[in-house]
Amino acid sequence: MRDNNGKVREDSDTDGVVYYKGPLVVLVDRFSASASEIFAAAMQDYGRALIVGEPTFGKGTVQQYRSLNRIYDQMLRPEWPALGSVQYTIQKFYRVNGGSTQRKGVTPDIIMPTGNEETETGEKFEDNALPWDSIDAAKYVKSDDLAPFGPELLKEHNARIAKDPEFQYIMKDIARFNAMKDKRNIVSLNYAQREKENNEEDALRLARINDRFKREGKPLLKKLDDLPKDYQEPDPYLDETVRIALDLAHLEKEKPAEQAAANK
């Protein structure tokens, strides 16, 4: 971390103990910010984990709260109102490679398709956001190198989502979202039009639920009100992350055998 005086403080591991040495995948999205970005960036820089999802928020600063009541003694002036607190930025934190997560965030090794636009969410769109910068890289040793697995993992990922029904829904939603880009902030005040739009959304959701039930061999629904109370929508991003983790575990398991064969 670097403070407003330019002083850099470097934190390091104090015991060197590794509690888990197996394959690791970290799922992030555009709303992953601050501490989650520190973690994801560290895992990526050390080669300890594969990062998947969306580019993150880009908050690379440290804030502190300070009470405004300190400017006067409330014991002497109990009739005066409480002034509250102010939050101000005191530091920026950096990756071990010297780069900052400020504004840029963390770019995943495998980016998944979503309907969120980069122009809508992120620290860089905040008023008076501090700029990106860098400091000298720390001295560190990578725990592993997952880069050689990247092409194969990406290939398998793309092949799966190309035929995954849930990701096909996502791609259709993205196309629909983009087609309505200029109108999405406009809400009709015409009751009949609003009712028509709501009915179309309900019909689309019912059709997708019935598609899932059909694939699972379950009875189809006639209306959304028939949906079981304990029904849970699938999470295609989490499910795909698990599949990527399995691919990574398989590749890491093969790696020692390939190295041994190469050394013969």
**Annotated domain spans of the chain:** 1-10+21-66+85-145, 147-264
Could you give the CA distance from residue 70 to residue 4 in angstroms, rounded to a whole number? 22
Could you give the CA distance from residue 244 to residue 157 in angstroms, rounded to a whole number? 7
Of 85, 84, 86, 89, nearest to 123 by C-alpha is 89
Q: Is 235 a catalytic residue?
A: no
Under 8 Å CB-to-CB from 121, ≥6 apart: which residues?
30, 31, 57
Under 8 Å CB-to-CB from 85, ≥6 apart: which residues?
65, 66, 67, 68
Say whether 166 sits in a helix, a strand or coil.
Answer: helix
Of 20, 62, 26, 21, nearest to 41 by C-alpha is 26
Over the stretch 50-59, which tens digit does the pLDDT of each residue have?
Answer: 999 999 999 9
**Rounded to two decimals, what is the model's pTM?**
0.87
Q: Residue 72 — very low, low, confident or very high, per pLDDT cuts 50/70/90?
A: low
pLDDT of 47 > 70? The answer is: yes
Active-site option among 32, 45, 100, 247: 45
Under 8 Å CB-to-CB from 114, ≥6 apart: which residues?
29, 30, 54, 170, 174
Quote the pLDDT of residue 259: 56
Could you give the CA distance from residue 114 to residue 175 in angstroms, rounded to a whole number? 11
Q: Give the H/E segment covering residue 102.
A: none
Over the stretch 202-256, which tens digit does the pLDDT of each residue have?
Answer: 999 999 999 999 999 999 999 999 999 999 999 999 999 999 999 999 999 987 6
Mean pLDDT of 112-133: 86
Active-site option among 34, 92, 100, 124: 34
Quote the pLDDT of residue 262: 54
Active-site option among 32, 59, 92, 100: 59
Q: Which two tokens stand for residue 142?
A: 């990578």
Mean pLDDT of 131-150: 95
173 and 115 Cβ atoms separated by less than 8 Å: yes
